[in-house]
A and B are shown apart, each in its own frame.
Chain A
Amino acid sequence: MALSKEQIAQRIAQELKDGYYVNLGIGIPTLVANYVPEGIEVVLQSENGMLGMGPFPEKGQADADMINAGKQTVTVLPGGSFFDSSASFAMIRGGHVDLTVLGAFEVTDKGDIASWKIPGKMVKGMGGAMDLVASAKNIVVAMQHCSKDGESKLLKECTLPLTGVACVKKIVSDLAVLEVTDDGFLLLERAPGVSVEDIRKVTAGRLIVNGEIPEMKF
């Protein structure tokens, strides 16, 4: 069975380590905050200018001056701080953020990513994604393995305009966990009930399967 968005977030949360400063992108990545494992403390960075981002506010407590990068109202946790956009991207560009999780339209077996524009149809803009992918030490992509029409989104070459080149380290899709290596996508884990053959069929980029591939554990 393919993973739900929540399960993708839950699996990515297993990548978190105590003391990490983490930037979560819009969409599925935002959900990762709900699954931080017991006993681990991470500090969430929101690139519009906050460290120590907390959960959504209680009903009636929302503050227009306290939003995340997805423009949602949020709260700040004890020990948090606010700063301007230039300082925020100094943290990102300077390599101070330990882990970046973001979504993608397409990724390649070389770690290229496309996530910001569908020519002639949709232009959202890159926001902070190009800065993040160019500088983050560790980038995990949360995405669906296939498009709605069943076309693979894990490719040899991106068909859409790039956000960054050779930057993605790991992918958690609804079907698999894969690591980007010099030789292509190394299959690490399968979604429960999904076979290696199922994954092979919908992975257009080079796929490396070494021995038995375990199922993801939650």
Chain B
Amino acid sequence: MNKVVKNASEALYGIRDGMTLMVGGFGLSGLPENTIAALASSEVKGLTCISNNAGVDDFGLGYLLKNRQIKKMISSYVGENAEFERQLLNGELEVELIPQGTLAERCRAGGAGIPAFFVPAGYGTEVADGKEVRVFNGKPHLLEHALVADFAIVKAWKGDTHGNLIYRHTANNFNQAMAMAGKITIAEVEELVPAGELDPNQIHTPGIFVQRIFQGKDYEKRIERLTER
């Protein structure tokens, strides 16, 4: 078993124009920085990116937006990314906005072999357009479909050569659910160790979900809103 690749460019082998990617992270926390940088310096374009946010103008997926490598974003929050908001309002970018919990569950369901499920979020709003409604326990619910991706790109704190992953603090966020839902899942980690060194009790993502893993470098771990007492 050899899941270890040298670096981000090697991890991206086989990626093509028009593919669908899941990219972990929440805001700028838990972002697969190395792999995003490698994508930004590649020629690949026409991507559909499933990611809670799209970084900021000059960090994270913001790079790929600026390079016009993304055709469509599937996200829950545009937030303070001015370029994202501009491309969205000008109709230059297809955007599907999804309630955050529904987005997380659609990724998890994709990895878990659950093709669709019902949730109450979005009932009575424009999110409900075209969706089947069913009442359970007296409450209307929307039918939501699972999401899968050609590549899921995630970031963990520690990983081993079998692909087992441990996240740190709130940098887990979407990484765990997305790691399950990639046809090929790429994990970049701050520290890569030989199999057997991580405590099996502490693993968040079992290695079965991960196909390629590498030790990232030069993590910037930028903070979007530094707040101190």
Contacts and interface: CB of A to CB of B under 8 A. Distances in A.
Interface string A66-110: 111011111010000011111011001100000000000000000
A94 to B, nearest CB: 10
B119 interface: yes
A157 interface: no
Given A134-B122, A162-B124, A76 B169 contact: yes
B16 interface: no
Contacts of A120: 89
B34 interface: no
B122 A67 contact: no
A164 B124 contact: yes
A135 B102 CA distance: 12
A67 B76 contact: no
A74 B229 CA distance: 10
Contacts of B79: 71, 124-125
A46 to B, nearest CB: 7
Contacts of B123: 134, 164-165
Interface residues of A, number: 55
Contact of B29 (A65, A128, A161, A164): A65
B201 to A, nearest CB: 15
A82 B156 CA distance: 14
A216 interface: no
Contacts of B127: 126, 130
A40 interface: no
B76 A86 contact: no
Interface stretch (A52-60, A138-146, A176-184, A199-207): A52-60
A166 B95 CA distance: 27
Interface in B187-229: 204, 221-229
Contact of A67 (B26, B78, B95, B176): B26
Nearest to A49: B170
B223 A62 contact: yes
Interface stretch (B7-15, B61-69, B103-111): B103-111
A127 interface: yes
Contacts of A58: 228-229
Contacts of A1: none
B221 A64 contact: yes
A84 B89 contact: no
Contact of B225 (A63, A70, A129): A70
A48 B28 contact: no
A92 B121 CA distance: 11
B20 interface: no
B172 interface: yes
Nearest to A125: B77
B15 to A, nearest CB: 24
Question: Max chain B CB contacts within 10 Å: which of A47, A123, A135, A161?
Answer: A123
B78 A65 contact: no
24 contacts: A49-B26, A56-B227, A57-B227, A62-B223, A63-B169, A65-B29, A66-B169, A67-B224, A70-B225, A71-B29, A73-B225, A83-B172, A85-B173, A85-B174, A86-B108, A88-B104, A123-B78, A125-B76, A128-B101, A131-B99, A134-B120, A135-B120, A162-B126, A164-B123
Interface of A: 46-50, 55-68, 70-74, 76, 82-86, 88-89, 92-93, 112, 120-131, 134-135, 161-166
